[in-house]
Structure 1
Amino acid sequence: MTVDTLGSRMLGLRGLYRAGYQSVLTYRSDLMFGVIGMVIQATLTIVVWRVLYEGHDTVAGVGGSTAVAYAVLAACIQSVVMPWQFSSLPMRIMRGQIGVDMMRPRSLISQNLAQAAGTMVGRLPIGLAGLIIGLALGGVKPPRTPLDLVAWIVSMALGVANIMTVNLLVSMTAFWTLDNGGAMILYRFGSAFLSGALIPLWFMPSWLQPIISWLPFQAQIYAPLSIWFGIRRGTDLIGTLSVQLAWVLMLAMFLQFVWRRAVNKVVVLGG
């Protein structure tokens, strides 16, 4: 592939990235209320978790300060990478606009991933607002060492890739069902629960934790946060990153498989 061809492809995807980013900024009042809501949520999270831990040094072997920080950071991350908000694919399939998308020189997968990345970046102010409040109120502390910070960035990048891929997989069910609202609702609950966004996995029953640890969802939020708090060290850290990378690669291959099947299910205006 020549440099010019690669440049022209990246230019096209950049436009889709901007479309996702601008779709968030178009409704600035919604973004503003999202920031305000996150500030309130972060503040209440710190207050409530501190009250719950009052009189208890640890619960399930976890100290109160760690539990508070985890709850705040999980809410911040979830507000940015909420997987069910990324893809417009089901609506475009329902309206028949998918035909136009498939005629573009860029693959449908790359189009949707570029738009999802733009949407995520557009929502960053919401997560940053919660993080700033958490730091200001002492509910969140930075990673202990620079190595933990670097490892967290790598882990978070893998977690986002995991989220975007799974989201697109769920969105593609619309090729078979046209209306995939039920699948998205099930995915919304499942991903929030199994990723540790709602409840840290250390509070899960002992029999359930090993099962969740091998599912792709835990690699979305719990794995990066466990690195933030320095829970993963040495070979454990390398193992966590390896599992995350393995899931990204497997999900990417499965996405290609589903896409090849989905092409045969496209119906536009009865054609």
Structure 2
Amino acid sequence: MEFRAALTYRASYLSSFVMMLLQIYLLTVVWEAFYDGRDEVDGVSLSTMTAYATLSTLQYTLVSPWRSSPIDQRVREGKVAVDLLRPVGFPGQMLSGQLGWASAAVPVLLVALPFALLIGAGQAPASTAAAVAYPLALLGALLVNQLLGLLLGMVSFWTLEVSGALMAYRFVAQFFSGALVPLWFMPGPVRAAAEWLPFQATAYTPAAVYLGQVEGYGTLAALAVQGAWIVALGALSALVWSRARHRVMSQGG
């Protein structure tokens, strides 16, 4: 249902991909100016950097929710009372809806891919191991991001409105995820903060795995960090939901 709903709003659906292509173009121009004719900066070539900018933008469009979780609207309209009667748990319903909405990005991503590679740059996986590990890293990124979206949506049980929190979340998440600037170019303290936050698992990790910036045990460690965040965010979501459900009951459902 959410997949079909996303396709219904065609203007918003298509404009998001125009903005995606514009971001790839602007990032490519910025990195070319940053390199200023040099072949490498800190051991990273310009071709790798532009490929990173293209790949991270494409995959972030897929794994990042295009809108807030439907939870806030369902809470305001009282539809959450019906959701509680369904045989599938409420968090499971909302995660399914978020994944359905995110999956609507796939068709246009396939159409936009040639234009994105033309504007930015493409590159084959760094190795066979990178090609095998990348789908796992991308799946981990999707799960981490959807759990973050679920937590953000459940804030509405206390505030009824999450648009302000969503704006702040998008800014912080996109920066610390490495979608704009890879972690290897961040200053020491900023990189340390990014490595302690879950956002880097949503953009930097899969792109770095694909391009061979993490290899061998580094790849296994990166996947393990994603797995740890999935478990931690899943447990936190269960805790928040247990509190939110009592709050719904106190409001009369």
Structure 1 residues 139-148 or 253-262, which shifts more?
A: 139-148
Equivalent of 1:79, from 52, 58, 61?
A: 61
Equivalent of 1:165, from 147, 171, 175?
A: 147
Q: Aligned pair in 2 of structure 1 residues 138, 44: CA closer, same or farther (>3 Å)?
A: closer
The number of residues matched between the two structures is 253
How far 1:78 moved relative to its partner?
2.1
How far 1:51 moved relative to its partner?
3.6
Q: Which runs of 5+ in 1 are unaligned?
A: 1-18
> What does residue 7 of structure 1 align with?
none
Query: Are 2:169 and 1:187 aligned?
Result: yes
TM-score calculated relative to the size of structure 1: 0.85
Aligned-partner residue type, residue 223 of structure 1: T
How far 1:152 moved relative to its partner?
0.7
> What does residue 240 of structure 2 align with?
258
Aligned-partner residue type, residue 93 of structure 1: V
SS in 1 for 2:84: helix
How far 1:40 moved relative to its partner?
4.0
Q: 1:69, 1:134 within 8 Å by CA — same for their partners in 2?
A: no
Q: 1:38, 1:129 within 8 Å by CA — same for their partners in 2?
A: no
TM-score calculated relative to the size of structure 2: 0.91
What is the CA–CA distance in structure 2 between the aligned matches of 1:66 and 1:131, rounded to whole Å? 17
Query: Are 2:130 and 1:154 aligned?
Result: no
Equivalent of 2:122, from 125, 140, 145?
A: 140
Q: 1:79, 1:126 within 8 Å by CA — same for their partners in 2?
A: no
Q: Aligned pair in 2 of structure 1 residues 202, 130: CA closer, same or farther (>3 Å)?
A: farther
1:57-72 matches, within 5 Å, as 57-72=39-54
1:123-134 matches, within 5 Å, as 123-134=105-116
Aligned-partner residue type, residue 131 of structure 2: L
What is the CA–CA distance in structure 2 between the aligned matches of 1:203 and 1:95, rounded to whole Å? 45
Q: 1:83, 1:188 within 8 Å by CA — same for their partners in 2?
A: no
1:13-24 matches, within 5 Å, as 19-24=1-6
What is the CA–CA distance in structure 1 between the aligned matches of 2:67 and 2:35, rounded to whole Å? 33
Deviations 1:20-67 (A, max 9, x none): 110111123333333444344434443443243232233344221121
Aligned-partner residue type, residue 151 of structure 2: L
SS in 2 for 1:208: helix
SS in 2 for 1:42: helix
1:2-13 matches, within 5 Å, as none
How far 1:212 moved relative to its partner?
1.6
Deviations 1:210-236 (A, max 9, x none): 232122111111111110111111111
